[in-house]
Structure 1
Amino acid sequence: MQRYVYPVDLTEVEKELNLIVEKLKVSKAEAIREAIRHFAEELKGIEVVELREIPKEQAKKEILEYIKGKDRVWADEIAEALRIDLSLVNDILMELWSEGYVEPED
């Protein structure tokens, strides 16, 4: 087995590390390995959505195209599908509502 040594400054988290070592009754190295495993497990199901920077008019056209033919759609669904900031989607939906293109949920 190949061994690796990672020089890491743990000064900032020394108190927390010592607490983990004390509570779990493990070595510092094992506490760090376990923390990494735990964090990696939490991240497995997370998907990072990279938002696109697009002009408002283009976003409006894309939103209109996306909602075409749908009976119901949520703002966060639109934002995720089109990778557009949720606040921009909400602003555009308010415009579309005032223009009569969409209706708010009751």
Structure 2
Amino acid sequence: MWRWSSPPSRQKLSRDTSSNKEFSIKFYSVPQSKNLFILPYTTLYMQRYIYPVDLTEVEDELNIIVEKLKTSKAEAIREAIRHYAEELRGLEVVELRDVPKEQAKEEVKEFIKGKERVWADEIADALRLDLSLVNDILMELWSEGYVEPED
């Protein structure tokens, strides 16, 4: 959110406390003639974020990227960050619950009741249980004849 802080003759856009960017817009008054339209002179200041990063471990890979893409190292790093962020955008983090095995077994039975087909990871995600625990429970339920694995 930006707000004007100076009179209209020379306006300066000041920084709002909720933002990290500063902009300055300056307007200069110039006599206008009939055939001349003058646009205001604008100066734009933006805060830059610079992070010192040790790239010794990935220097060879970075050089390969720069050589193949014909770009600068800085641009290659920015593009890698964008790519990684895009990859993580749809990622969902499931926090597992710590429940006793018998309670988990009952929850699994209840979850698969009425379903014709269900995957172990689907059960684990829905019930927020560890996948290995779900697999153990499914093996027990199979030995009891409650479920059957698909061929």
For this structure pair, what is the TM-score category when the shorter chain's length is used for normalisation? 0.7 to 0.9
TM value normalised by structure 2 = 0.63
Structure 1 counterpart of 2:119: 74
Give, in whole Å, the separation in 2 of the partners of 1:30 and 1:95: 53
Give unmatched runs, 5+ long, in structure 2.
Answer: 1-45
Structure 1 counterpart of 2:104: 59
2:145 alignment partner, SS class: coil
Give yes or no for the alignment of 1:14 onto 2:59.
Answer: yes
Give, in whole Å, the separation in 1 of the partners of 2:67 and 2:57: 18
1:42 alignment partner, SS class: helix
Aligned-partner residue type, residue 51 of structure 1? L
Structure 1 or 2, whichever has the larger Rg, is 2
Aligned-partner residue type, residue 4 of structure 1? Y
Give yes or no for the alignment of 1:94 onto 2:126.
Answer: no
Structure 2 counterpart of 1:29: 74
Runs of 4+ aligned residues of structure 1 deviating over 4 Å after TM superposition are none
Residue-by-residue CA offset, 1:11-63 (whole Å, 9 max, x unaligned)? 11111111111111111111110111111111122222222222211111111
Structure 2 counterpart of 1:39: 84
Give, in whole Å, the separation in 1 of the partners of 2:106 and 2:148: 17
Give, in whole Å, the separation in 2 of the partners of 1:20 and 1:53: 44
TM value normalised by structure 1 = 0.86
Give, in whole Å, the separation in 2 of the partners of 1:82 and 1:43: 23
Q: Cα distance, 1:102 vs. partner?
A: 2.5
1:53 alignment partner, SS class: coil
Give unmatched runs, 5+ long, in structure 1.
Answer: none
Higher percent of residues as helix = 1
Give, in whole Å, the separation in 1 of the partners of 2:76 and 2:63: 9
Tell me the matched-pair count: 106
Aligned-partner residue type, residue 126 of structure 2? A
